[in-house]
Chain A
Amino acid sequence: DTEVTQTPKHLVMGMTNKKSLKCEQHMGHRAMYWYKQKAKKPPELMFVYSYEKLSINESVPSRFSPECPNSSLLNLHLHALQPEDSALYLCASSLLGGSPGELFFGEGSRLTVL
């Protein structure tokens, strides 16, 4: 299995809802990432997990809460989001080593906040 799988593909939520995005990979990668991508913009890094520990948080608001239950799973918990948080959320994974490895991306979860 050489894919990163994200669910759900589409999510619509109100500003008071709590929802979660899920990401899974079975390539043995020990780094997992959340990126946010607005239309016609490049992906922006949000979080990086290395060996199931949060290693990078790019000053993301606390209404986004990442979780890495094990080396294959990555979640992004969403609470009290704003309409401007509507975007495509991409999960990625990579090997960890002495030099940056290739990022393997999922297809993304398209989030709409009403």
Chain B
Amino acid sequence: AQRVTQPEKLLSVFKGAPVELKCNYSYSGSPELFWYVQYSRQRLQLLLRHISRESIKGFTADLNKGETSFHLKKPFAQEEDSAMYYCALSTDSWGKFQFGAGTQVVVTP
């Protein structure tokens, strides 16, 4: 069975400090992994996906198949990064996404 684990419910960091959100998955096949973000009073939206290998809003995430991880990183956190972040796994093309429990990020000045 597929599973997505985000071990941290809450991550509090100072502005300008690095931030790393952990995501581990279990799936025997070739996964598609995503990070979704939900800012306060906004809809859930895609932040980035592993196949695009791009940096969005300064965030990057690398898929490590050996460690079955897809951690999200940003070298210098900004106050506007405060949000709920969900790691998501999709194993087919029919949109069956499995979301992790989410990590609330709070960036304090």
Contact = CB atoms under 8 A, between A and B. Distances in A.
Interface of A: 4, 31, 33, 40-45, 48, 50, 55-56, 90, 94, 96-103, 105-108
Contacts of A55: 94
A102 B49 contact: yes
B32 A100 contact: yes
Contacts of A48: 94-96
Interface residues of B, number: 21
Contacts of A108: 43
A93 B102 CA distance: 21
A42 B96 contact: no
A106 B99 contact: no
B102 A106 contact: no
B93 A105 contact: no
A56 to B, nearest CB: 6
A56 B90 CA distance: 14
Contact of B101 (A42, A45, A90, A101): A42
Nearest to A55: B94
B87 to A, nearest CB: 9
A107 B45 CA distance: 10
Of all A-B residue pairs in the complex, the 4 with the closest CB atoms, nearest first, are A42-B99, A100-B90, A105-B44, A102-B46
B51 interface: yes
Max chain B Cβ within 10 angstroms of own Cβ: one of A40, A44, A55, A100: A100
28 contacts: A31-B95, A33-B95, A40-B102, A41-B101, A41-B102, A42-B86, A42-B100, A42-B102, A43-B44, A43-B86, A45-B96, A45-B97, A48-B94, A48-B95, A48-B96, A55-B94, A56-B94, A94-B95, A96-B94, A96-B95, A100-B92, A100-B93, A100-B95, A100-B97, A101-B95, A105-B43, A106-B43, A108-B43
Contacts of B34: 102
A90 B44 contact: yes
Contact of A98 (B86, B93, B102): B93
A10 B50 CA distance: 35
